[in-house]
Structure 1
Amino acid sequence: MHLAVAVADGSYDLSEVLTVRHEDGILDVLEVKTGHGGRMHRVLAPAGRVVVDYHATVHGQADPASIEDLDLIEFRRPSRYADSDRLLSFARDQFGGLEGRALLDAVTDWVHGHVTYFSGASLPTDGATDTLLKRRGVCRDFAHLVVALVRACDVPARLASVYAPGLKPMDFHAVAEAFVDGQWQVVDATRLAPVGTLLRIATGRDATDTAFLSSYGGSLVLRSMTVTASVDEQPPVVDGPTQLR
């Protein structure tokens, strides 16, 4: 079992506890570093009921996301769930001639205005093209479509899983980042959470790289899950370019 629930490494002050309990006792957890400060935790779990508890307290903000040359190449490419190569004609018809923040805002506004947030409307196998056709989905579907459309306009874009204080309904959340005006800027086409409170968990091409739970070599059934994220004080509403901190 692989977990991606821990907040990403950053320059903030972090205290955290991750515990994985099997019905026979506490299980060992191996931390594996992933890209962009992400941390995955591997657990070898025997058959039976397993309970995962993660608690973290964060003070301050992380430094802005670093800019790596390889990212600017890889995050332009189509990926499993952000299949930008299938959306080239559509993206250029809708957003041709736009650049920079104007392009990112136009894509985000279009997705927000044309896709309905509806829990259970999408399948785990759905990608951006499926969302475009269905016009319904959840946060990851919104983020995948934004990422794919921005990539189709030749701008690097990626998906980030985050904790989102203020999110309604509360859950793990997914947002898009695009490389605009020399920095990674975050947008949330669902507009269900204030972007100024987002806390990065994992970053990648799409949900392939950011899934909070995956299992290999055995079957796994998620019985229940509770996510709670809060801030002591809500920051001012952000109006304009924002970096995920």
Structure 2
Amino acid sequence: MRRHLSADLTATVTSPVEATLGVTVAEQVTRQDESFSVTLDGQEVEVQDVVDEVSGTRWHVLRDVAPGELSVSYTATVSDGGAVAGVSPLERVRYVRPSRYVDLDRLEAVARAEVGDVAGEQGVLDVASWVHDHIRYVVGSSTVTDGASDTYLARKGVCRDFAHLTLALLRARGIPARLVACYAPGLAPMDFHAVVEAAVEDRWVVVDPTRLAPRPSLVRIGGGADASETSFLTVHSGGLSFNTLQVSAVVDGDLPADDHLGTVTIG
């Protein structure tokens, strides 16, 4: 299935800045065409490319960018979503632990009471369904500091909040799980999207507790323990004021059907 993707970001640099961008598709995605540019006041900015060999995430690092108007433009045509290898022993350890936004130690009793024992594909689907049924999708209802326990108490959030709560419930019941940032044709409102990959035997299967986009059309950007490891823009030092973001993701022909009742792999 061919997908056409784009992302355009603008920001104002107020003091020399170092930042990392994560907007391009992952290394393992088959790209038929791709363009990426970063400019400051219309002039090209030097970018350092860094690839995470495990997840395939392609980071683009900006260093000592002077004050001015920053523009980032990305387009790609791809033929798959970016398959990954099976679950490694290290991933089984890493992705069952607490992380910045997945404060599962505060939700262990909740997980026992709400989802009980979790095993296999159906168990993973049941956890995603519980989050879908109990959390409302409300744009602007959460902040960048909210973690899984905040979402559980608020009972509302956006895709990253749905993902963090799903991750916490799965990990609390012993299931390794990670967040995947992606392009999502069919998503409404259109934006970057966050879904969950969970380990079932030796495979990573994907669930989307928001159910806002068909999973077979997803295209991987990157993955990690939570949103702190998959952000599309991270400012490390200096001053930067975010202005606008426009994301587009479409497929040739009709979108694939997805009732979210079975498991899917990204690839």
- In 2, the alpha carbon distance for the partners of 1:71 and 1:98 equals 18
Give how far 1:83 is off: 1.1
SS of residue matched to 2:60: strand
CA shift in 2, pair 1:242/1:221, >3 Å = same
Per the alignment, residue 49 of structure 2 pairs with 31
- The AA in structure 1 aligned to 2:262 is G
Q: Does 1:153 align with 2:173?
A: yes
For residues 85-126 of structure 1, the C-alpha deviation after alignment (integer angstroms, 9 at most, x for no partner) is 111111011222331122211111111111100011001000
The code of the aligned residue for 1:40 comes to W
- What TM-score do you get using the length of structure 2 for normalisation? 0.88
Question: Aligned pair in 2 of structure 1 residues 13, 49: CA closer, same or farther (>3 Å)?
Answer: closer
Q: Which moved more, 1:94-103 or 1:232-241?
A: 232-241
Q: Does residue 2 of the first structure (1) align with residue 20 of the second (2)? A: yes
Amino acid at match of 1:36: S
**Counterpart of 1:58?**
78
Aligned residue type for 2:241: V
* Counterpart check, 1:87 vs 2:135: no
Partner of 1:221: 241
Counterpart CA distance in 2 for 1:94 and 1:101 is: 18
Q: 1:198 maps to what in 2?
A: 218
Matched residue, 1:47: 67
After TM superposition, the structure 1 stretch with the greater mean CA deviation from structure 2, 159-168 or 99-108, is: 99-108
**Which residue is equivalent to 1:240?**
262
Counterparts of 2:180 and 2:173 in 1: how far apart (Å)? 20
**Distance in 2 of aligned mates of 1:160 and 1:60:** 15
TM-score, scaled relative to structure 1: 0.95
Provide the C-alpha distance between the structure 2 equivalents of 1:112 and 1:7, rounded to a whole number of angstroms.
Answer: 27
**Alignment gaps of 5+ in structure 2:** 1-18
Q: In structure 2, what is the Cα distance between the partners aligned to 1:211 and 1:145?
A: 17
Question: Is residue 114 from structure 1 mapped to residue 155 from structure 2 by the alignment?
Answer: no
Alpha-carbon offset, residue 234 of structure 1: 3.4
SS in 1 for 2:142: coil
Higher relative contact order (CA 8 A, sep 6+): 2
Structure 1 runs of 4+ with >4 Å offset: none
**Counterpart Cα distance in 1 of 2:136 and 2:81:** 32
Report the counterpart of residue 96 of structure 1 in structure 2: 116
Partner of 1:165: 185
SS in 1 for 2:246: coil
Describe the superposition over 1:52-109 as per-residue Cα deviations: whole angstroms up to 9, x where unpaired: 0001110245334432211111000000101111111110112223311222111111
RMSD: 1.4
| 3-state secondary structure, aligned to 1:36 | coil
- With over 3 angstroms needed to count, the CA separation of the structure-2 counterparts of 1:67 and 1:99, relative to structure 1, is closer
2:160 maps to which of 113, 128, 140 = 140
Aligned-pair CA distance for 1:43: 1.3
Contiguous gaps of at least 5 residues in structure 1: none
Q: What is the DSSP-based 3-state SS (H/G/I as helix, E as strand, rest coil) of the residue aligned with 1:113?
A: helix
Distance in 1, Cα, partners of 2:194 & 2:146: 15
Larger deviation, residues 233-242 vs 213-222 = 233-242
How far, CA to CA, are the matches of 1:160 and 1:16 in structure 2?
A: 21
Secondary structure of the residue aligned to 1:126 is coil
Rounded to whole Å, the distance in 1 between the matches of 2:119 and 2:212 is 26
Distance 2:107 2:161 in 1: 15
1:65–1:243: 8 Å Cα contact kept in structure 2? no
Structure 2 equivalent of residue 19 of structure 1: 37
